[in-house]
Copies of this chain bind each other. A is one copy, B any other.
Amino acid sequence: MSSAPLTPPPRQQERARSTRAAIIRAAAGVFEDHGYGNTSLAAVAAAAQVTKGALYFHFASKDALAVAVIEEQHAIASADGARVQALGRPALETMVLVCRGFTLQLIEHSVMRAGIRLTFEASAFGHDVRGPYLDWAVRFGELSRTAQQDGDLRPDLDADAFARVVVGSYTGVQMVSNILTGRADVIERLADLWTMLLPGVVGADRQERVPQLVALFRDGPSD
């Protein structure tokens, strides 16, 4: 009689990972449409086409599922941020392109939209959701300081305050676009934000860069 293996065989591990990923994707769709309070684990199991037993094997509670969606959202956003950083463009362009990438992810992935919705509903399930916002503010603070050293941002600008303004105003413009148009106009509304925000923060001798940066946000890098 052979003893049970300490870890499941590779194929079983892979199947468990793919089931878990399918549950998170399905949960995102249900949370996005119905919000935290109106989502039931039964609805998620049905959407994921798994039994409630399989669902409970991966997630002990609705709370755990919501946290997994928020973490997945943050993982997608962070990976995309790293992709943009790796382009090695100047810091101010990097900020603009990180926002562009985040917006495209938001349009494409239900996990991103559900994660944002859950973040705003999160006091209902007592999860501390400050992390992603603080991360984003810290990274953009670093980029702002570099952009200031590059001479792209005004020398008298409070770089950390600029980072927080970008995080807050980006968040709101995309949320109001969601309410009014289901995010159909989100790129145009965010392009408006950059058009009006950049002249006040870009150095006096770099103002000609403003329309270039807005075009970079709207259309992406041409190279």
A: residues with CB less than 8 A from B are 33-39, 117, 119-121, 123-124, 129-130, 133-134, 157-158, 161-162, 164-165, 167-177, 179-180, 189, 192-193, 195-201
Contacts and interface: CB of A to CB of B under 8 A. Distances in A.
A168 B176 contact: yes
B167 A176 contact: yes
Given A35-B37, A38-B124, A172 B179 contact: no
What's the number of copies of this chain in the assembled complex?
A: 2
Given A172-B175, A197-B197, 8 more contacts: A37-B37, A37-B38, A37-B124, A120-B120, A165-B169, A165-B189, A168-B169, A171-B175
Nearest to A190: B168
B37 A120 contact: no
B171 A176 contact: yes
A158 B117 contact: no
Nearest to A207: B200
A95 to B, nearest CB: 13
Nearest to A34: B124
Contacts of A119: 179
A124 B121 CA distance: 12
A19 B18 CA distance: 54
A173 B169 contact: yes
Contact of A200 (B133, B168, B173, B199): B199
Contact of A35 (B123, B162, B179, B197): B123
Given A37-B38, A197-B200, A200-B199, A172 B168 contact: yes
Contacts of A120: 117, 120-121, 175, 179
A173 B172 contact: yes
Contact of A179 (B129, B170, B200): B129
